[in-house]
Structure 1
Amino acid sequence: MTITRNTIIGTDAVADAARAVPHEIYLGPDGDAVEPVVSRTTTQQDLRALGLRPNMRVLQIGTGSGYPAALMAHIVGPGGHVLTIDPDPALSVRARELFVAHGHRAIAVTGNELAGHPGRAPYDRIVVAGTPAAIPAAWIDQLARDGTLVTGCSVSDLPGAYAVAHIVKTPADDLHVTVHAGRYPLMQPPAVPSHVTVVAATDHPGYYLASTSDDHQTAAAFLALLRAGTAEPWPGGPGEYLDLKHWLLARLPRGLFTTATKHGEGIGIGDRAPSGSGLATRPDGPPEAVMITPTHFVAHPQESPTWARFLDLMDDWRAEGSRTMHELDAVILREGDSYHVRLND
């Protein structure tokens, strides 16, 4: 697909809708994008992934400018319906007025996004341009059989691990999920489970390290090592960081953590120096830590056993064909009134 200012090249339903619905009328009064900002290109890519067809019933969580709902209404046609819900009444009123003024068959309402909109359920498609702390059961309940829910999600108990989930409800009410690289804006502060230890740098609250170990002192030592460690350019190819990161989250190697330092958000492993031979460790051994970010490889100390183990993990990933995120197995688990997506090795 090629996009210019006034012409969208393509023959699919999304391109047809984009030609029929002028993007400019949904911009702000000064020609600026309406918060929250989702680019026109991203909007159209997301709609293609939905597989919309005429006569479908669609729920959009998060109205934004109203442009995505107008596109979807054009695709599903007069036999379908599109309802978009947002907690901000100003956005709902603005979108509603634009829909009426330009004859776009979408409905904008104000309400609790996490509750969905049961009054018009079930929906063939539910699309969420955001990431909830957990996927509400209400969204799943309002999804029709053979329907698809697309939403941002967390894929790990460790913070900083996000993806886009495509969840399909089968005719038997089972749920199948696949995950894809992507990160939508957070709808809520992330929830950190009680079994996850998070330490923050006292002199810089933006720097943290999170681990499933309950050893707060060791986690703090790992963070200090990474801040002092030697940073080298990321040794992988362009775009490989996210795939390796999520493979590690699925593999769950010993000492796995997520972190953020001056080099950005990253993932790595930490351990204590080995004692003797094999993989035995001594509790009082000096700590070792290694991490990668999209741009850097950080290790302290250099060429330690932990450094070598991380390189072995990278070799294992490459031996498996450098598996991408959507090639990983994923499961969706219900916990009370919400669902969580997790990766499996």
Structure 2
Amino acid sequence: MISTRSTIVGSDAVADAARAVPHEIYLGLDGEAIEPVVSRSTTLHDLRALDLRPNMRVLQIGIGSGYAAALMAHVVGPGGHVLTIDPDPALSVRARALFVAHGHRAIAVTGNGLAGHPGRAPYDRIVVAGTPAAIPDAWIDQLARGGVLVTGCSVSDLPGAYAVAHIVKTPADDLHVTVHAGRYPLMGSPVVPSSVMVVTATDDSGCYLASASDDHQTAADFLTILRAGTAEPWPGGPGEFLDLKHWLLARRPRGLFTAVTEHGEGIGIGDRAPSSFGLAARSDGPPEAVMITPTHLVAHPQQSPTWARFLDLMDDWRAEGSLATHELDAVVLRDGDSYHVRLDD
């Protein structure tokens, strides 16, 4: 049995909408259950961050269950409009029927969300329930001046570097961005630029390591030793991993990489020990690598100079106040007919 008891706290517009719009009807009382991409609490949190107001025009890319669109329609009221778009016709047909049956003033259409929906542009808010390979210029073009675009994004050329971007289009058509820790589902296959080298394990483990280096053998060595490395818990607090990861991506220390091993998905640095031919060169000595995951610090060998350098980086992050992701500088860069969000040191 689905409980209908209200658990919504607060008296703001989003809380009022959540009380007025039954969550259960969008989850599957019609016999076609929809698995939410994000939790209800996350949906409410994200909608509060949008600062929705009456009479706003909203475009949502990715219909899902239709619940978020119904909430937004309640907040913007009869003077605004909410249009939600999805390439899956079954989702748009289902949502459209629910909107009509329950009097929720949202419009569901089938289409390619990457192209936005120019017919009702400009929009005061564009909300994307996914992470595109790059931000299409259609979204920026269809955003009103003073409007806000919220979308998943890649914040680095390195794979696995995902976050949520909050982009404001100024009256002068400039773009200001704040990046938040979080991750939405990918929209299509990720694109790895030619400047990034990815080495994969030769077995079927799915392990890989990606860096900006052009030294394939060294990167392969890093992956090998990380898989066999010693893992120990690191003393970070809940959620701190993503903040530290994004700080490292902004700082770009020497030898930076992202990787997936049996120890999990992480970020780290690698180097080679000084060769026997001179301490100044670090090109032909044994590999050293250290990586942090949400739960562990993985290294081989331990107590190496690279290990010490990584601990120093962690100390630097602490000394700067353990900066959260949204406290880091970020920029929006145009690249042909799309945009990229990048963290800036």
TM over 0.5: yes
Q: What amino acid is aligned across from residue 167 of structure 1 in structure 2? A: I
Residue matched to 1:111: 111
Shift of 1:7: 4.0
In structure 2, the residue matched to 1:15 is 15
Distance 1:31 1:180 in 2: 36
| Residue of structure 1 in register with 2:250 after alignment | 250
Q: Percent identity?
A: 86
Distance 1:279 1:337, change over 3 A: farther
TM-score scaled by structure 2?
0.96
Structure 1 portions without partners, runs of 5+: none
Take 1:33 and 1:307, find their aligned partners in 2: how far apart are those partners?
48
Residue 223 (structure 2) aligns with:
223
CA distance in 2, matches of 1:94, 1:40: 19
Which residue number in structure 2 is paired with residue 236 of structure 1? Answer: 236
Measure the CA separation in 1 of the matches of 2:272 and 2:308. 13
Q: Deviations over 1:154-211 (max 9, x none)?
A: 0000000110000000000000000001000111111100010001111134210000
1:33: Cα distance to partner? 4.9
Q: Distance in 1 between matches of 2:68 and 2:315?
A: 42
Contact persistence 1:164–1:179 (CA under 8 A): yes
Q: Give the corresponding residue for 1:132.
A: 132
Q: How far does residue 276 in structure 1 lie from its aligned partner after superposition?
A: 8.1
Which range moved further: 88-97 or 34-43? 34-43
Question: Partner of 1:77 in structure 2?
Answer: 77
Q: Is the 8 A contact 1:24 1:31 kept in 2?
A: no
Instruction: Report the alpha carbon displacement of residue 5 of structure 1 after superposing the two structures with TM.
Output: 3.6
Q: 1:313 to 1:169 in 2, by over 3 A?
A: same
Equivalences for residues 52-67 of structure 1 within 5 A: 52-67=52-67
Change (3 A) 1:104 1:279: farther
For 2:322, the aligned partner's letter is: S
Distance in 2 of aligned mates of 1:335 and 1:258: 23
Match of 1:331 in 2: 331
Q: How does 1:143-154 map to 2 (within 5 A)?
A: 143-154=143-154
Q: Quote the offset at 1:40 in angstroms.
A: 1.3
Bigger shift: 238-247 or 192-201? 238-247
Q: Which moved more, 1:39-48 or 1:135-144?
A: 39-48
Q: What is the rounded CA distance, in whole Å, between the counterparts of 1:279 and 1:62 in structure 2?
A: 55
In the other structure, the counterpart of 2:212 is 212
Check the 8 A contact 2:4/2:24 in 1, yes or no.
Answer: no
Amino acid at match of 1:176: H
The alignment's TM-score, normalised by the length of structure 1, stands at 0.96
Count of matched residue positions in the alignment of Structure 1 and Structure 2: 343
Aligned to 1:289: 289
Distance 1:23 1:241 in 2: 32
Preserved contact between residue 271 and residue 282 of structure 2 (Cα < 8 Å): no
- Give, in whole Å, the separation in 2 of the partners of 1:239 and 1:118: 38
Instruction: Identify unmatched segments of 5+ residues in structure 2.
Output: none
Counterpart residue number, 2:188:
188
Q: Secondary structure at the match of 2:46?
A: helix
Contact 2:60 2:69 in 1 (8 A): yes
SS in structure 2 of the partner of residue 153 of structure 1: strand
Match of 1:260 in 2: 260
Q: Helix, strand or coil for the counterpart of 2:182?
A: coil
RMSD: 1.8
Is the 2:274–2:283 Cα contact (8 Å) retained in structure 1? no
Report the residue type matching 1:83 in the other structure.
L
Deviations 1:297-329, CA, capped at 9 Å, x for gaps:
111111111111111111111111111111100
For the residue of structure 1 that corresponds to 2:187, the secondary structure is coil
Q: Match of 1:202?
A: 202
**Residue in 1 that maps onto 2:47:** 47
**The 10-residue stretch of structure 1 (281-290 or 62-71) with the greater mean CA deviation from structure 2:** 281-290
Determine helix, strand or coil for the equivalent of 2:223: helix
Distance, in Å, in 1 between the alignment partners of 2:278 and 2:316 is 19
Q: 1:224 to 1:5 in 2, by over 3 A?
A: farther
1: distance between equivalents of 2:77 and 2:242?
37
Match of 1:38 in 2: 38
